[in-house]
């Protein structure tokens, strides 16, 4: 029997709000070559990502009981919702981009294949946007999360790590065998960005991110108290927040945990000097003193020192920004991310 001309790709994510994982799903789905792939996107709620997907002319299926904070009953209902979607869409590839969705979707895939195995087979892919067991948690929680991560990975043919750090952490903790895992960095397309012209008149240090503990905003706030003549701007929960990046003179990402953050790629594209915590995949983007400054996480004193260094040295700011932009354009493109991911679909 001849191979189908197009492959049906079912993307699944827990919530359809707008964050790094949602941008990843959106960019993958919208930019897949339509002559080879037919994308379908499913997720909890009907948030910004869902609206962007629909605006792009792609189908979005709401998983009504799918929420990030799950209870046992919701998980059971979610399982049957996902199973129903699998039977209805009959995908060639299922690509999951959420740790909390990973296990439920994995079990649903197993049941689907047992009841009605597709003639051409089914490829299951799981993308990790930062392992939850790398967060600061009680030991018993870390143990449970590691166990859940190991079980989740059993259901998938390939596990994409968006950073080498996530890959190494998985190997070290025996989450999945090396043959199953692959590193594919996040990538962006400069043509997708239209940065607004600067309107801010004061020297501004800023960041963009959800108001969660892992983003480390409190350390930036503490560091900023050392500078009476500098404005601090924290943008959280704003649609298309990256549009406003040129209002910053220095971009800071004081995170405690990250996968490979899009926001640093966007800040670099906007020609901003960047200070960031040396966590997750951030050192894979920024080489200290060459294309940015790296600081220890949860350390407001070191953060203040780095800010002072850039405030006082305009030439350093310009050189770091220039080098970072060149690195991003060369090594963190959307085209590269698409090409490497598509190779797994085939």
pLDDT in tens, 169-184: 999 999 999 999 999 9
Closest to 226 (Cα-Cα) out of 298, 123, 307: 307
How far is CA 181 from each of CA 142, 157, 243, rounded to the nearest angstrom? 21, 9, 34
pLDDT digits (tens, 9 = 90+) for 134-159: 988 999 999 999 999 999 999 999 99
The answer to whether residues 334 and 189 touch, using CB atoms and an 8 Å cutoff, is yes
φ, ψ for residue 14, nearest 5 deg: -65, -55
Q: How far is CA 229 from CA 272, 274, 302, 311, 333, in A?
A: 20, 20, 19, 11, 37
Mean pLDDT of 56-64: 96
- Among 255, 223, 265, 250, smallest CA distance to 310 is for 250
In 3D space, the residue among 258, 245, 243 whose CA is nearest the CA of residue 233 turns out to be 245
At residue 118, the pLDDT reads: 84
pTM: 0.93
What is the pLDDT confidence band of residue 1, given thresholds at 50, 70 and 90? very low
How large a percentage of the chain has pLDDT more than 90? 87
At 34-56, the pLDDT tens digits run 999 999 999 999 999 999 999 99
Contacts of 50-55 spanning 24+ positions with Cβ under 8 A: 50/16, 52/18, 52/26, 53/16, 53/26, 53/29
The residues that bridge with 235 in the sheet, in sequence order, are: 208
Sheet holding 158-161, edge to edge: 60-63, 37-44, 7-15, 93-96, 123-128, 158-161, 181-183
Domains of the chain plus CATH, in order, are 7-187+333-345 (3.40.50.2000), 190-331 (3.40.50.2000)
Dump pLDDT digits (tens) for 214-241.
999 999 999 999 999 999 999 987 878 9
Q: Residue 110: pLDDT band by 50, 70, 90 thresholds?
A: very high
Above 60 in pLDDT, residue 68?
no
What is the share, in percent, of the chain residues with pLDDT greater than 70? 97
């Amino acid at each position: 029997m001849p191979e189908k001309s197009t492959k049906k790709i079912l993307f699944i994510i827990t919530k359809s709000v707008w964050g790094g994982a949602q941008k990843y799903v959106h960019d993958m789905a919208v930019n897949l070559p339509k002559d080879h792939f037919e994308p379908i996107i499913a997720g909890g709620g009907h948030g910004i990502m869902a609206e962007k997907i629909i605006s792009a002319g792609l189908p979005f299926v709401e998983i009504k009981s799918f929420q990030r904070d799950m209870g046992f009953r919701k998980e059971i209902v979610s399982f049957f919702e996902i199973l129903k979607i699998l039977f209805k869409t009959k995908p060639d590839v299922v690509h999951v981009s959420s740790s909390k969705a990973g296990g439920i979707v994995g079990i649903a895939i197993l049941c689907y294949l047992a009841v009605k195995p597709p003639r051409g087979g089914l490829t299951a892919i799981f993308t990790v946007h930062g392992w939850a067991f790398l967060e600061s948690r009680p030991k018993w929680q870390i143990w449970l999360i590691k166990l859940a991560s190991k079980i989740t990975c059993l259901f998938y043919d390939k596990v994409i790590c968006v950073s080498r750090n996530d890959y190494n952490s998985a190997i070290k903790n025996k989450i999945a065998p090396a043959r199953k895992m692959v590193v594919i960095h996040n990538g962006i397309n400069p043509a997708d960005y239209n940065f607004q012209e600067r309107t801010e008149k004061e020297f501004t240090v800023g960041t963009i991110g959800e108001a969660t503990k892992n983003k480390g905003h409190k350390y930036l706030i503490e560091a900023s108290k050392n500078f009476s003549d500098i404005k601090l701007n924290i943008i959280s929960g704003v649609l298309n927040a990256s549009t406003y990046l040129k209002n910053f003179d220095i971009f800071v990402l004081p995170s405690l945990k990250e996968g490979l953050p899009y926001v640093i790629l966007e800040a670099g594209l906007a020609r901003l000097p960047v200070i960031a915590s040396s966590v997750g995949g951030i050192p894979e983007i920024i080489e200290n003193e060459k294309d940015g400054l790296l600081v220890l996480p949860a350390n407001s004193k070191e953060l203040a020192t780095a800010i002072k260094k850039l405030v006082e040295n305009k030439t350093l700011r310009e050189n770091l920004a220039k080098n970072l932009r060149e690195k991003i354009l060369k090594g963190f493109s959307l085209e590269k991310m698409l090409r490497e991911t598509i190779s797994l679909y085939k």
